[in-house]
Every structure is written in C-alpha cells, then in structure tokens.
Amino acid sequence: MTIIDFELRGEFIPLDALLKATGMAGSGGAAKALVADGRVAVDGQPELRKTCKVRAGQEVNVTGVCVRVHAPTMPASLD
C-alpha cells in the first residue's frame, strides 16, 4: 500500500479537494466520481459525501493508496 502524508493548511479540507491535491484524482470531477462510485473510505468506512470535511488524524483510502492527514506544522498567517 502506498502512503501519502498530507499536511492541512487550515482546520479541514473537503474530501474531493484532498483527492485532487494528492494527485489521486486528476480533476475535481474525477474526485467526485471516485466518491460517488463508492471507491473512497475515510477511517475505514465507505464515504459517499463528496465534500465531507477531512480533519487532522483521519485517513483516506482509495484502491491501495492511503492518505494520512496531519495538522499544520506552521500556524496560518493572519494577513
């Protein structure tokens, strides 16, 4: 199984955006199709909500690839 570590930039990331940001989907539409087809699991449970909030400590799995989501190491700028 391939493991990808992903660092959040805020409190959460929508599931479809995470799939696109990690390269697991080539576009937002492809990401939404993966979720709609039931090929995505969050913390071991099938996830059908395309924009569910993925937070630090959660794992997202898609056919042999696991994304481990981590909290930001640097606080967000206040600019």
CATH class name, domain 2-70:
alpha beta
Domain locations in the chain?
2-70
The DSSP letter of residue 50 is: T
Whether the per-residue pLDDT at 74 is higher than 80: the answer is: no
- pLDDT by residue (tens digit) across 20-49? 999 999 999 999 999 999 999 999 999 999
Whether the per-residue pLDDT at 76 is higher than 80: the answer is: no
Tell me the whole-structure pTM to 2 decimals: 0.89
Whether the per-residue pLDDT at 70 is higher than 70: the answer is: yes
Distance (Å, rounded) from C-alpha 41 to C-alpha 45?
5
Contact in structure between 54 and 18 (CB atoms under 8 Å): yes
State what percent of residues in the chain have pLDDT above 90: 86
